[in-house]
Chain A
Amino acid sequence: MKTLIRLFYLGILMSFLSACTTVSIDEMRWQETDIDLSKDSIVILGRHHSPEYETEPDLVSCIGKRLESGMRGLNVIPEQEFVNMLYPWFEPRTAPLTMEKFVRILDEPMIRDELEKHRVRYMIWVEGATETINQIGSMSCAIGPGGGGCFGFGSWENQSEYEASIWDFENTREAGRISTDAQGTSYMPAIVIPIPIIARVQSNACDGMGSQLSAFFAPEA
C-alpha cells in the first residue's frame, strides 16, 4: 500500500516537471485591423504544400483555441471545416500560396460567395514545423520474473519555427506577419523509473503565437 502511495506522489511530481523553453516573437504590421466581433470570422490554415515538412494540424487548432479564448474572443472557423467548405481550392496542391493567387481564385463567384456567406474577414496562414534537432544519451530497460527497470540518461532538443501571414480578405492585402521561434531541451533520467522532464516547445510556440495574434486584432488604444 505504501509503495502505491509513493508511486502516486511520484506521478503527481512528474506531471509538474517540465524543462525550460525560450520563445521569441517578431511582428510586422502593414495595416490596421478592423473586425466586427458580432459578425466577422477568421480562419487559420496550416501550409501543407512542402514535401519535407508540414505545419502540424494540432498547432493550427491550438492557435485557433487561443484566439477564441483570447481577450477579444474571435470567431474562428476550424481548419478542416473551412477546407471542406471550399473544396478543392484549399487542398495542398491548389491552395493559394501568394496574395496574387488568392485574388485570382476570388474571380470564381462561388468561392467569393462562400467566403462572404461565412463572413471571413481575415485568413491566417501558418507555415513552419517543430523538429528535434539534437539527441544525446542512451537508456536501457530490462524486464525479468522479479520485476523490471530502466537505467540511463537521454536528452533531446526541439526547435519550433513558425510564421503567420495575416491576409485581409476584404482589402485583398497582407495585413501583417508574426513569427515565433521556440527552443527547449528535454531530459529523461532513468533510475529504475524513467522521469521525463519535457520542454513543451510546440505548446509554448502556440501560446506565444496565439497571444501575439490576439493582440494584433485588438483595437488600437
Chain B
Amino acid sequence: MMAFQSIRPLFAVTSITLSILLTACSSSFVVDADFPRPLVEPIPINGELVLTDEFSTYVFVEDTETREDLEVDISNAQVNLFETITGHLFSGSDNPQNLLVITPSLEDFQYAVPRETRAEIYEIWLKYRVQVMSKDGEPIADWLITGYGKTPTAFMKSRQQSIDLATTIALRDVGGQLSIGFGRQPDIRAWLDDRE
C-alpha cells in the first residue's frame, strides 16, 4: 500500500504528460462564425434554401498517416453562411411560381499548413456545389464555387486558431461569390429574364 502511494504522484505526472503529448498531435474543434448581411440588390423572386442532413452535420476529418489528425466541424458555420446570404438575396414575389430552390453541398475541403507550404500561413480551400431548381423540380443551374482563405500569419497563433480563421475567410469568400454572382449566373439570369 505504501509503495503504491509513493508511485501515485509519479503516475499522475506521467499521465498528464502523456495526455499533453497525445493531444499535441491531434486537434478537434468547431468553427463558429457569424457573417454580415450582403450588400447586394435583392432579386424580386422567392427563394428557398434546402439543407441536407449531411450538409448540416458535416465534419471534416483528416486521418491520413502523413498528416497530423484533424477534425474541423464547420456544420454550424456553413449553415449560418448560406442562411444569411440566401436570407438577403431575394425580396420575394406574389407569384408562387417565381420560386428558386437552392441546395448547397460541400464537395471538397482542403488545407495546407506552414510545414507543407514553407510559408508562415495556413490555407483553406472549400468547394461547394450549389444546385438551383424551380418550384417544380426542374434543374436550372449547377454551380461550383471555390472559396479560399488564408491566415495573415501563423506567428503567435495556434494551429486551431489559424485553421479557424482561414476557414472563416474561405466561407466569407464563398458567401461573396454567391451573393454577387447569383443573379449573374447565365442559367439563372436566363430563367429570371423569362419571368420578367
Q: Does B139 make an interface contact (CB < 8 A)?
A: no
A111 to B35 alpha-carbon distance, docked (Å): 18
**Tally of B interface residues using CB under 8 Å:** 21
With a cutoff of 8 Å between Cβ atoms, the chain A residues found around residue B153 in the complex are: 54, 56
Question: B173 near A93 (CB under 8 angstroms)?
Answer: yes
**Which stretch from A66-74, A80-88, A133-141, A155-163 is at the chain B interface?**
A80-88
Give A98 Cβ to nearest chain B Cβ, in Å. Answer: 18
Question: B119 near A52 (CB under 8 angstroms)?
Answer: yes
Q: Does B40 make an interface contact (CB < 8 A)?
A: yes
With a cutoff of 8 Å between Cβ atoms, the chain A residues found around residue B37 in the complex are: 87
Q: Does A217 make an interface contact (CB < 8 A)?
A: no
Q: Does A108 make an interface contact (CB < 8 A)?
A: yes
Select which of B169, B175, B180 is within 8 A of A92 by beta carbon.
B169
Question: A114 near B39 (CB under 8 angstroms)?
Answer: yes
Select which of B41, B119, B172 is within 8 A of A88 by beta carbon.
B172
Q: Does B152 make an interface contact (CB < 8 A)?
A: yes
User: For A48, A87, A94, A110, which residue has the most chain B Cβ atoms within 10 angstroms?
Assistant: A87
Nearest residue, chain A, Cβ from B151: A54
Question: A87 near B152 (CB under 8 angstroms)?
Answer: no
Q: Does B93 make an interface contact (CB < 8 A)?
A: no
Question: B119 near A87 (CB under 8 angstroms)?
Answer: no
With a cutoff of 8 Å between Cβ atoms, the chain B residues found around residue A111 in the complex are: 39
Q: Does B179 make an interface contact (CB < 8 A)?
A: yes
Instruction: Decide yes or no: A110 and B40 within 8 Å by CB, A52-B119, A54-B150, A57-B152 being known contacts.
Output: yes
Instruction: Decide yes or no: A88 and B152 within 8 Å by CB, A110-B41, A114-B39 being known contacts.
Output: no
A93 to B173 alpha-carbon distance, docked (Å): 7
With a cutoff of 8 Å between Cβ atoms, the chain A residues found around residue B175 in the complex are: 87-88
Binding site for A on B (CB under 8 A): 35-41, 119, 121, 148, 150, 152-153, 169, 172-173, 175-177, 179-180
Select which of A54, A88, A93 is within 8 A of B38 by beta carbon.
A88
Question: B173 near A86 (CB under 8 angstroms)?
Answer: no
Nearest residue, chain B, Cβ from A89: B39
A88 to B173 alpha-carbon distance, docked (Å): 8
Question: A91 near B173 (CB under 8 angstroms)?
Answer: yes
Give A64 Cβ to nearest chain B Cβ, in Å. Answer: 16
The 3 closest A-B pairs by CB, nearest first: A88-B176, A87-B36, A84-B36
A111 to B179 alpha-carbon distance, docked (Å): 14
Instruction: Decide yes or no: A91 and B41 within 8 Å by CB, A84-B36, A85-B36 being known contacts.
Output: no
Apart from A92-B169, A93-B173, 14 more pairs, CB < 8 Å: A54-B150, A54-B152, A56-B153, A85-B36, A88-B39, A88-B176, A88-B179, A88-B180, A91-B172, A93-B148, A93-B177, A94-B176, A110-B39, A111-B39
Nearest residue, chain B, Cβ from A55: B152
Nearest residue, chain A, Cβ from B123: A51
Q: What are some 19 contacts across the A-B interface (CB < 8 A)?
A: A54-B150, A85-B36, A86-B39, A87-B35, A87-B176, A88-B175, A88-B176, A88-B177, A89-B39, A91-B176, A92-B148, A93-B148, A93-B173, A93-B176, A94-B176, A94-B180, A108-B39, A108-B41, A110-B39
Nearest residue, chain B, Cβ from A56: B152
Nearest residue, chain A, Cβ from B39: A110
A55 to B152 alpha-carbon distance, docked (Å): 7
A10-36 toward B: CB 8 Å interface, digit per residue (1/0)? 000000000000000000000000000
A91-123 toward B: CB 8 Å interface, digit per residue (1/0)? 111100000000000001111001000000000
